[in-house]
Amino acid sequence: MDNIFEYMVDTYINGNITSFKDIYRELNKGARRDFVDFIFNEVNPKYTIELIKQTI
């Protein structure tokens, strides 16, 4: 997969929450902000709130 953010979303959607959290923790502060932007702009709204909660 070319985009780490897409990979992270797919990982979460497929139920691998632990891997999602591990990858998220490895992102630096700027990348975390970019990921939140990605969630709001690119992710199906069905998953937006769930994903945001996992990043808190």
C-alpha to C-alpha distances, 29 to 22, 25, 26, 46, nearest whole angstrom: 14, 9, 9, 25
State the pLDDT at residue 37.
Answer: 97
C-alpha to C-alpha distances, 28 to 17, 24, 25, 45, 47, nearest whole angstrom: 19, 9, 8, 25, 23
pTM of the model: 0.87
State the pLDDT at residue 19.
Answer: 96
Among candidates 1, 50, 4, which has minimal Cα distance to 31?
4
State the pLDDT at residue 49.
Answer: 95
State the pLDDT at residue 20.
Answer: 96
State the pLDDT at residue 27.
Answer: 97
Averaged in consecutive runs of 10 residues, what is the pLDDT profile of the chain (56 residues)? 89 96 97 96 95 93
